Amino acid sequence: MAQFAVIGLGRFGSTVSLELTRLGHQVLGVDSEPKFINRLADKLSYAVIADATDEQALAELDLLRYDAVVVAIGEDLEASILCVLHLKNLGVQQLWVKACSNPHHTILSRLGVSRIIHPEEEMGLKVAQALNYPMINQYLSLGNNQYLVEILVHKHLEGTVLSALLKNSRHEVKTVLVKRHSELVAPVPDDFILATDDCLVLAGPLSMLKSLAPRLV
Ligand code: ATP
């Protein structure tokens, strides 16, 4: 179990803190508005009313003992930046900060924040990708244009041999595993025969994964 602090309990901050709690972590929620604290007080490990632009108030929260601090103050640029400056002064290392605009992002990165989150853009990208590739359940960028994708095998692929599905891309696209019902198959042999509702996890260059898409629908 890890310990996290979330500053700003709007829709984004409250979702992060509730999900971390559900995952079994200890969460401190901080907000300057009593109504947001009252709403979550009995759901989080600790909930504190404090102004995050006040360095003394932040110092009293003993934030150095947390594994990471999330700053989820979006709209109020000044409050977000002041809060980040104070957290940096206090020596907080693991800092995740929500940004609401490009200038906000630029300032945060100049302040040395390495984890800058753009929830709307990131979610928008995910929705567009899901609409573009409806056969892809989940994907994860691994960097260097390599992706990990989870694909649900549709009925028309029942009985297809894996190597026939991957064809020319099989040297560059790796089959990480297949999930069939509750069983995981790994490593996956080339002659593996696919069944409807198998969940295929593939990794490889985006261009190769894209070229597979027409065979999957
Ligand atoms: P969301 O979309 O997640 O609801 P938002 O961008 O609409 O976020 P904001 O106005 O950015 O909402 O604020 C998010 C939360 O941060 C609010 O609950 C607000 O009370 C809190 N907040 C704003 N300023 C401070 C501050 N100085 N100290 C602590 N909490 C703050």
- What pLDDT shows up at residue 49? 98
Domain end marker among 119, 149, 168: 119
The rounded distance, in Å, linking the Cα atoms of 207 and 150 is: 16
Q: Are residues 77 and 138 in the same domain?
A: no
Residue 75 C-alpha to ligand 1 middle, in angstroms?
A: 7
Q: Between 77-90 and 102-110, two packed helices, what is the crossing angle to 10 degrees?
A: 20
* % of the chain at pLDDT higher than 70: 99
Residues having CB within 6 Å of any atom of ligand 1: 7-13, 31-33, 36, 51-53, 72-76, 79
Residue 19 predicted with pLDDT over 90: yes
Q: Are residues 42 and 138 in the same domain?
A: no
The boundaries of the domain holding residue 172 are 129-216
Residue 140 region, left (φ>0) first, then alpha (ψ -120 to 50), else beta? beta
Q: Provide the whole-model pTM.
A: 0.76
Q: With cut-offs at 50, 70 and 90, classify the pLDDT of residue 137.
A: confident
Q: Are residues 29 and 52 in the same domain?
A: yes
| Structure-token pair, residue 113 | 């924040």
Residue 169 belongs to some domain of the structure:
yes
DSSP, collapsed to helix, strand or coil, labels residue 200 as strand
Q: With cut-offs at 50, 70 and 90, classify the pLDDT of residue 100.
A: very high
Domains in the chain: how many in total? 2
Residue with CA at minimum distance from ligand 1 atom 30? 31
State how far Cα 147 lies from the chain centre. 15
Q: Are residues 15 and 113 in the same domain?
A: yes
Q: Among the atoms of ligand 1, which is closest to the Cα of residue 8?
A: 16
Greater model confidence, 126 or 199:
199
